[in-house]
Amino acid sequence: MANLRSISKSLAGLVWVAVRSFVGTLLVLTLAGLVLAAASGVWLHEHIGWWSLLAGGIALTEAIAAGVFLGAKRAIFMALMHALRKLGLGRKVVQVVFARLLGVSADQDVGERGGTIAKTIERVPLAQAERKLTQTVNDLLNAPAEDAGWWRRKFQGILLRSVQKYTLARFRAEGAESGGVDLVKVQSELEDRIDDLILAKLRGGLNLWTLAVIIGLPLLVAAQTSIVYLLVHSR
């Protein structure tokens, strides 16, 4: 059975994926900034002389700042997507969460686990399921992690909150349909779908942030170029 420690160890290998994504994004946007700075500087040099250096410097600074911002976003998103595609960590997190919800402990014998599940297999009221889910996720997030660094705790927290979100949605759908929540049934369904659900959400968010920077950075450089031009000519 998956446990929080094994998930934390699996996350350790994701740091390289995150660093590689961050550095790559920063380099690409820095190069884009150099191109935009050169274009801005050349155009302004014909009109306001050495003031074009100021505009070019601002453009490059904006590009580096955008690279740091988007690089951090991509680092987290790409690492999590790798964890979901290659390691199936979403499924493992579901197993950890539902082991707590069902009252199954890794220290219990197989026979004892079966007895515990048998006691909880009946439908539970929606409010009780929601309350227990929130408490379980909070307990896992606050659990001491002796060997987990900041990155691993960040990834682990995002995965836990994502699983909580989709589990809660499934609880509410099950409760509305059947008047209660069958924990074992919901766990089985989520184990099959959770990695794909979180992957789709991450891809959508990553594409949105990337598109915003790709469109926004040239517009920002164009705007600040015009502002520098107008300020110099208004003197």
pLDDT digits (tens, 9 = 90+) for 54-96: 778 888 999 999 999 999 999 989 988 888 888 888 898 999 9
Count CA atoms within 13 Å of residue 103 on its CB side: 10
Calculate the alpha carbon distances from 144 to 101, 141, 149, 161 in Å: 19, 8, 12, 17
Average pLDDT over residues 214-226: 89
Instruction: Evaluate whether 31 touches 60 at the Cβ level (below 8 Å).
Output: no
Phi, psi of 124 (to 5 degrees): -110, 150
User: 181 phi and psi, to 5 degrees?
Assistant: -120, 120
φ/ψ of 108, rounded to 5, equals -80, 150
pLDDT at 117 over 50: no
pLDDT per position as a tens digit, 20-67? 999 999 999 999 999 998 888 787 776 666 767 877 888 899 999 999
Answer yes or no: are the C-beta atoms of 53 and 174 closer than 8 Å.
no
Q: How far is 216 from 214, CA to CA, in rounded Å?
A: 6
Per-domain residue ranges for the chain? Answer: 15-233
- CB within 8 A of 74, min separation 6: which ones? 21, 22, 25, 206, 209, 210
Helix (H), strand (E) at residue 221: helix 183-233
Neighbouring-strand partners of residue 181: 124
pLDDT one-digit tens code per residue, 145-160 = 555 567 677 788 888 9
